[in-house]
Structure 1
C-alpha cells in the first residue's frame, strides 16, 4: 500500500531528485549520578561513566526520505537498539507519510518534558514511543493532526509466541516474572492513533491538543487478544523565554491473562529491564522552563526547568507514584549538558524498588533523590 501511494504521488507531482543526499550525525554522551538509596555509590561519591553512542542518518532520493537512529548502550542498559528508522514522502508542503519504526503521535511532542529524565508518561510507555507502522501527518498554520496504524511495537523475534525483546528505547508491553513465578507476557498489536493540535499566536506560541490510541494486547500464554487504550489532553506554551508543558493522560490495559495472574498490573519493558505498572491509571504532568541567552565563552544558552509528574493508580490499594526534576540545560556549541536533581516516590528509576514501584508500590515509601549530570557532544 505504501509503495502504491508513493508511486501515485510521484506520478502526480512529477517530483525528481537527480542526486541522492545523505547526512550522517550522532552523539556521544557520558553520565554522572549520585543516588540516595545506593549506599556503596554514596561512599564513592557517585559514579561517572559511559551513557550512549548513537549514529543518525538522514537521506533523500527522488522524493523518498530516510531517517534512522541507532544507539549503542552498555549491555546492562539494553545494549544496541534502533530508536527509530523510517521512510517518508512529502505529499505536499504540509503533508507527509511515514513507514517504519516511527514516533507514535500522542501527547506533547516531540517530548512532554524538559529534563534528561523525561516525564512520568515516558515510564508508562506514553512519551517518545516508537512503533512499527504507517503514519500520516499534516502541519498547517493553525492545525496539526496525525493518523497512524501500528502493526506492533519493535519486533526483534518472529516466533509464534516469542517474548518481546527487552532491548528497546521506549516502553512497550513485554514479559516480567514476579516473585511468585507468574510471568506476565503480552505484546501490543494493531494499534491506531490520532492526534489533533490547534495553534494560537505567532508561530504557534500556544498549542492545545487531544490524543487517543487504541489497540490489541496479545497474551502469549492464553493466545487471546485483549485491549489497551490511552487518551490525553495537553497545553504547550512558548512565550518570550518562558515555556509551559501541561498534560493529563488516562490509560488502561485489559489483558486476557491465564487464571491466577493479576488483572491489575501489566509488564512493560525497555533498556533491558522490564517491570510491572498499574493496569489502569491517570497521569498528571506539568513542566515549566525559562531560557537565558548568555555569552560566556562557548556557552550560548541556559534553560532552567522543573518537571513534575503524578501517577494516580485506579486500584485504591496501590500506592501512587511521584517524580519531580529540577535542573538546567547548558548549551555550549555542540555540547549539551543536563544538570538534574531528580526526586521520586514509588518510581523505579528513582528508588530502591524496581519491579513493583509503578504497580503496587510500597506503603510509606520515602522520597529518594538522584543527582545527575549528562554531558553529550552532538555532531
Structure 2
C-alpha cells in the first residue's frame, strides 16, 4: 500500500475524479458525427498468499467514434506502465497499444461492412461473460480478439450473420517484449519462455450465424461459429493450420441473464520440435498454449433495475463465471477460472469488484505465467481480490 505523501500522478488523478463528480459528461462532440472520449482507470490487487497489496493506475484510454447515415468508425488507444503489474518499466505510457481502429459503411439498416483493426466475430458477442477479467477464452485466442481485416454483417429481426477475413494480427504496439498487442494472439516467444515457438497467424477466415430463440420466458439467441487460419513458423518456414468451431447460447429473463458456450480448437503448427504447444501473447507478455483442447464457459448474472442512494448507485449487477480449457494431451493439466463479482455505477464511475480463482491460469494466483496454459503448473486453486474503478468520458 502507498503511505505518506500522495504521489504526484495520484494527486492529478484524484483531482480529475473530483472534477468528474461535478461534471457529469466530459465527452467532446465534434460536429454532428464525431465523438471524442476515453477513460481513466485505477486498480486494486490483494493477494495475501503472495503478499501483494497494491493500489495504482490501471490504464488511460483515448478514443474517437464517427457515425453518419452511411459511414461509421471507431478507434481506441491504451496506455499502461510504472504501476503493478507493470512496475518493471519506469514511466506510465512505456507500454501502449491500439485496441481497435476501423471504418465501416452501412448499405442499409441490415447490411454493413467494417475494415481495419476490428473484433473477430467468434462465439458470444461482444464478450463471453459479465466479468471485468473475462474468461479463459480471452487467453486461448477466442474472446475479445481484434485483428486486421474486414467483416460483413447482416441483421434481420431473427438472424445475425457475420463473415470476416483477417490478413494478420494487429500491428505491434510499444512494450518490453513481443506480446505488444491488446489481443492475445499467436506471437513469437520472448527469450525467457522455455519451449517457446516462433509462429505468426495469417489469412484467418471466420463465419458466425446466430438466430433469436425463446424458451419460456427466456429470450436470447443460439449460434454457431467456424474459424480457420494459417500458422507460419519462422524456424521451419512451413505453414501449419488452426481450426476452431463454437456453439453458444445467451438469454435474459426479468433481470437474470445467462451465457453458455462450447468451443473446440485444434492447431497444427509446424514447429521444429513438435505440435503440442504454441506461443501466444499480448499485454506485454508471451506464454505457451496447448494447441488442442475443448473450451467451456458459463455465466449467470442478475441486474437490479432500481437505483439506490438517491440515484448515486445504478446498474447493480451480481455475477458468477466459470471457464475451462480441457487440453487434449493427457499429460497436460487442465486450466480453469472461476469468478464471483459485482459491478455498478457510482455517479460517473464504473466499479467492478471480483474474487478471482484460477487453476493453471497464467494470470491468477502466482501460477506459472509461461506454462500454465500448456503443460500446467501448480495444480491447485489460487485466488485473489481485484477491484477496478473507471471514469469513462
TM class by smaller structure: 0.7 to 0.9
Paired position in structure 2 for 1:223:
237
Q: Does 1:58 align with 2:70?
A: no
Paired position in structure 2 for 1:70:
77
Q: Which runs of 5+ in 1 are unaligned?
A: 1-18, 158-163
Paired position in structure 2 for 1:11:
none
Q: Does 1:327 align with 2:334?
A: no
Q: Deviations over 1:278-310 (max 9, x none)?
A: 110111100000001332231122100000011
In 2 relative to 1, CA 180–29 (structure 1 residues): closer, same or farther, beyond 3 Å? closer
Q: Secondary structure at the match of 1:274?
A: strand
Q: 2:308 aligns with which of 284, 295, 308?
A: 295
Paired position in structure 2 for 1:359:
374
Paired position in structure 2 for 1:263:
275
Q: Which moved more, 1:328-337 or 1:47-56?
A: 328-337
Paired position in structure 2 for 1:12:
none
Paired position in structure 2 for 1:172:
185
Paired position in structure 1 for 2:47:
35
Paired position in structure 1 for 2:260:
246
Q: Which moved more, 1:330-339 or 1:320-329?
A: 330-339
Separation (CA, whole Å) in 2 of partners of 1:216 and 1:339: 39
In 2 relative to 1, CA 60–246 (structure 1 residues): closer, same or farther, beyond 3 Å? closer
Separation (CA, whole Å) in 1 of partners of 2:280 and 2:231: 12
Paired position in structure 1 for 2:37:
25
Q: Does 1:152 align with 2:168?
A: yes
Q: 2:123 aligns with which of 107, 119, 137?
A: 107
Q: Deviations over 1:55-100 (max 9, x none)?
A: 1201246833221111112266581111000010001111110000
Relative to the length of structure 2, the TM-score reads: 0.84
In 2 relative to 1, CA 183–323 (structure 1 residues): closer, same or farther, beyond 3 Å? closer
Q: Which moved more, 1:164-173 or 1:268-277?
A: 164-173
Q: Deviations over 1:232-265 (max 9, x none)?
A: 000001111000000001101111112xx23111
Equivalent pair of 2:337/2:359 in contact (CA under 8 Å): yes
Paired position in structure 2 for 1:198:
211
Paired position in structure 2 for 1:47:
54
Q: Secondary structure at the match of 2:137?
A: helix
Q: How many residues align?
A: 347
Relative to the length of structure 1, the TM-score reads: 0.87
Q: Secondary structure at the match of 2:124?
A: coil
Paired position in structure 2 for 1:284:
296
Equivalent pair of 2:70/2:107 in contact (CA under 8 Å): no
Q: Secondary structure at the match of 1:349?
A: coil
Separation (CA, whole Å) in 1 of partners of 2:229 and 2:101: 22
